Amino acid sequence: MASEVSPQILATPRLRFAPVEGAAELFTPTFVDYLLRLHDEFTGRIHQLREKRAETLKKAHEQGIMPAHLPVSRINTEDWQVPPVPQDLWEPGIEISGPASITHMFINALNPGPDGTRAEGDLDDDEDSARHCLSDTVTATWNRLGAVQRRLTFRDAERGRQYTIAAGELPFFMHRERGLHLDEPEVTVDGAPIPASTLGTALTLFHVGREQAARGQGIYFYLPKLESAQEAALYRDLFDASRAQLDFLRGAVIKAIPLIESLPAAYQMEEMLYALGPYGAGLNAARWDFKASMFEYAMADPNAVWPDRFGVDIKTTPFLANIFRRLVAICLKHGAVPIGGMATPLPNPDPEVNRVAAEAIRADKVWEAQQGFIRGWVAHIFHMKPAADPFKEIAASGWKPTPEMADPNNYPIDIKVPDGPITMEGTRRNARMVIEYVEGWLNGRGAKGIDSLAGRPGLHPALMEDLATGRMSVAQIAQRILHRARDCQDPSQVHDFPVVKRLLQAEVDDILVRLQATIRNDRDKAAYAQAEVRYRKAVKIAMRWIKNYTELNFRSLGSYTAVDLDDIAAADDPF
C-alpha cells in the first residue's frame, strides 16, 4: 500500500524525503547529489514521455487509431547485433520472482527449493509485487545490498524461524524498479514528487551496483511498463549519465531487458532493443499486464469486448502466441535473450492439487522452451523444478531454433478478439480477484495468493497475484459495463453497475463467511475483525477503480497514498 505522505526530512534545500526507517543512511550527500543530477536531466523528459503515452491512448479511444509499427528502417530490417550478453543471462532454467522488500520471502527465493532446485536468476522486485511506497523501496535496497554481501538474515520471532542465505552459488539478480508512469510522493525535489523510476534505479545503481561491481557481478535490470523506443532510450541515457557520475560504474557490466507488457511496445520491440544501445540484453514476454494494456487501448470499442480472460491461454490463442514468437524471433535475429512468462501456482496442503499444478506448469514451460525462450518465471520455490526442467532439457538435447523461427516477418501482429464465452461467472471471478487483491494491498502486500474458485468443485491451487492481476480484472469488468455485455449463456443478464455491485457484495460476503469459519481462538477473532475492515474498504476501492476505468481513467492503484484510499473508502459508493 502506498504510504501516507509524512513530514519530510530536509536533505538539501531542494530535496526532502519522508523519515522512513533506513532512508537517512541511504540518502547520503553524495547520493543526493547524484540523484539531483539525474532528476534535473531526466524528469522533464519523463513528463514529456508520459504526455506522449496519453496522446497515443487518446487517439485509440477517440479516433480508433491503434498502436502500429514504426516506419521501415535499418533498425527493423537489418541484422544488427546487441553487444555481447553475459553468459549468466544465457543460462537455461528459471527465475524466481518476488518482492525484494519482504525479507524472508527474498531469502527463500535465493535459496534452493524443497527438492534442492535453485533458480538461475532472482527477479528482486520493487514494482508490482511491492507496495509502491518509499518504505518498500528503502527496504528493498537494503535487502538487495545484504543479499549481494551474503549477510542478509531474518528472524521471525512469532514462528521461531531464522532465515539465512544457504551456501552455494546465488542466482543472478534481476532488479525491477517502478515504471516511468509513477511518482514517489515521499521524495520531493523543489516541492514536486520525483519519478519513482529515477529514484529506484538510482538507489540500486549507487548502493547495490557498487557492491556488485566490486564483486565482478553484472548489474541487470528489468524495465517494466515501457511503451516506446523513446522510453528505452531514456534508460540508455540514464545509465550513461550514471556511469559518467559514478566512477565505480565505468567498468561495470550494466544490462537491461524490457518487459513487453504494453500493446505499443509489441510494435516496437526491435526499436526498443536497439535504443538501449550497449545495455540491451533481451526481451521478456509479459502476460497479465499485456492483456490489461489491450483492454485499455480497446476500451472504447464496442466490437472489442473480450470473453472471460481465464480461458484465454497464450499457447492456444494464435494471435497472442504469434506475439510471443515474434519476440523470440527478434531476440534470435539480434543475439538477445528471450525470457518467457510467469508460473503463479502456490503450494497446497493437498498433494493432488500440487501434482496437477506441477503438470500445468511443466506443460506451459515446455511450450515456451519449444518456442525458443531461454527461461521463464516462477512465483514460488516449491514449483521451481517443473518450471525450470523444460528449458534445461531442451538445451541439453542440442535442439536449436530453426532459421524460420529467427525471422520476425513470419509472426505478424494481428490483434483480434479471442474466441470464448462472456459469462457472469467470469465477471464474478474478476470481482473476487479485485477484492482479494485490494485487501492484500491494504494489509501491506503487493502480491497475494488468491483462489478465484474458492469453494467451487475441482482442483485449483491459489495463484500468486500482483498488481497486474488487479489491473486486468478491473479492465475486463469495466469493459463489460461500458458496453453492456450480455452473458452468452443467458442474454437476459446484462453487465451494468448495479449487477457488478451485487457481485462485489456477494463475493465479499462469501469471503468473510469462509474466513470466519477459520476462527479458533481470541487471536483469530481479533485478526478477523481487522480483516473484515480491510475487506469492506476493498469493495469501496474496487468500485472506485472500476468506475475510473469506465471513464477511461486508467490510474494505477500504485499512485494512491494511504490517505487517498482511506478517503475513497469513507466516501459514498462510486456506483
Work out the average pLDDT over 472-499: 98
Work out the average pLDDT over 482-493: 97
The whole-model pTM stands at 0.96
Work out the average pLDDT over 383-396: 97
Work out the average pLDDT over 449-455: 94
Mark 273-302 as b/e (b = at least 16 C-beta within 10 Å).
bbbbbbbbbbbbbbbbbbbbbbbbbbbbbe
Dist. CA 465–CA 470, nearest whole Å: 8
pLDDT of 80 strictly over 70: yes
Q: Please report which helix (H) or strand (E) contains residue 296, including its range.
A: helix 288-297
User: What whole-number percentage of the chain has pLDDT above 90?
Assistant: 97
Give the amino acid at 96: I
pLDDT tens, residue by residue, 38-62 = 999 999 999 999 999 999 999 999 9
At 552, is the pLDDT very low, low, confident or very high (cuts 50, 70, 90)? very high
pLDDT tens, residue by residue, 185-207 = 999 999 999 999 999 999 999 99
Phi, psi angles (nearest 5°) of residue 95: -115, 130
Work out the average pLDDT over 154-178: 95
Dist. CA 474–CA 464, nearest whole Å: 17
The whole-number pLDDT of residue 9 equals 79
Helices (H) and strands (E) in the chain, counts: 18, 16
The whole-number pLDDT of residue 8 equals 73
Q: 246: closest CA among 199, 220, 209, 294?
A: 209
Q: Which residue is it, cell 537455461?
A: 92
pLDDT of 320 strictly over 60: yes
Which cell numbers in the block locate residue 134?
Answer: 518509499
The whole-number pLDDT of residue 158 equals 86
For the ranges 52-61, 199-208, 363-372, 458-467, the lowest mean pLDDT is seen at 458-467
At 7, is the pLDDT very low, low, confident or very high (cuts 50, 70, 90)? low
pLDDT tens, residue by residue, 111-157 = 999 999 999 999 999 999 999 999 999 999 999 999 999 999 999 98
pLDDT of 1 strictly over 60: no
Could you tell me which residues are beta bridge partners of residue 155?
Answer: 162
Burial class (CB in 10 A: 0-12, 13-18, 19+), 61: middle
Q: Which residue is it, cell 537489418?
A: 78
The whole-number pLDDT of residue 5 equals 45
pLDDT of 4 strictly over 70: no
At 481, is the pLDDT very low, low, confident or very high (cuts 50, 70, 90)? very high
* CB 194, CB 228: distance < 8 Å: no
Work out the average pLDDT over 402-418: 97
Neighbours of 456 (CB within 10 A): 10
Q: How high does pLDDT run on average in the chain?
A: 96
Dihedral angle sign, alpha carbons of residues 235, 237, 239, 242: negative
The whole-number pLDDT of residue 11 equals 75
Catalytic residues: 176, 466
Phi, psi angles (nearest 5°) of residue 205: -65, -45
pLDDT of 535 strictly over 70: yes
